[in-house]
Amino acid sequence: MKYQDKIENSIQLSITTKQLLLTKEMFDNIEKIGIELAKVIKNGGKIMFCGNGGSAADSQHLAAELVVRLRSSFNRPAIPAIALTVDTSVITACGNDFGYDDIFSRQVEAIGNAGDALIAISTSGNSKNIIQSINIAKRKDIAIVGFLGGNGGQMLDMCNYYFLSPSSNTARIQETHIMVGHILCEIIEEELFSLY
């Protein structure tokens, strides 16, 4: 079989990247983000997600985990979350009328409120439309959590909190983003509904 070495290499790279997360500093950071996101919900806010491409899919995936549930064994009320990547009418109208760089910021402007959180997902940290959404979120006193990779790009210094994947490979970054996203959903559930 001609692809076995390639398959093994990809799996090993994924494992190696995830092993780099096994530090107390990383655990502390992820826990802090989860607790802060739970506070947003406790205080009546919501969590918004945005990202492009695979990160758009991650936005939808993680918003669904919060609205529906992460674990079938843990029934609990819905958690207010929304992916800004799903409304094709808004996205195409905004792209057409204002430009692609405004597709998320326009939505943050419309539905974001002080006390909400924006999870801004970008493997490069340099996505213009994500940066625009962060700028609007800052003006509205919305907490910004970056899911980033590589050196964090421009977004690194713009976020209140961030998870920086220890890789510069897009696929490996996305794999750690979804794993950490699941961990955060679990922390949020536990913080909000541990008495259920």
Question: pLDDT tens for residues 24-62?
Answer: 999 999 999 999 999 999 999 999 999 999 999 999 999
In a domain, 16, yes or no: no
Parent domain of 186: 24-193
With 0-12 / 13-18 / 19 or more C-beta atoms within 10 angstroms meaning exposed / middle / buried, residue 63 is: buried
User: What integer pLDDT is reported at residue 162 of this predicted model?
Assistant: 98
**pTM score, two decimals?**
0.95
In a domain, 7, yes or no: no
With beta carbons less than 8 A apart as the criterion, state whether 117 and 109 touch. no
88-106 pLDDT, tens digit per residue, is 999 999 999 999 999 999 9
In a domain, 62, yes or no: yes
In a domain, 13, yes or no: no
Number of domains in the chain: 1
The DSSP element (H or E) to which 90 belongs, if any, is: helix 88-97
In a domain, 161, yes or no: yes
In a domain, 19, yes or no: no
In a domain, 118, yes or no: yes
> What confidence category does residue 195 fall into, taking pLDDT thresholds of 50, 70 and 90?
low
Residue 61 belongs to domain with CATH number: 3.40.50.10490
> What confidence category does residue 123 fall into, taking pLDDT thresholds of 50, 70 and 90?
very high
Could you tell me which of 140, 194, 188, 134 has the C-alpha nearest to residue 161?
134
Using DSSP's 3-state secondary structure scheme, residue 35 falls into: helix
In a domain, 12, yes or no: no
Give CA separation, 91 vs 87, 96, 160, 196, in Å.
6, 8, 26, 38
What is the number of alpha carbons within 13 Å of residue 195 lying toward its C-beta? 1
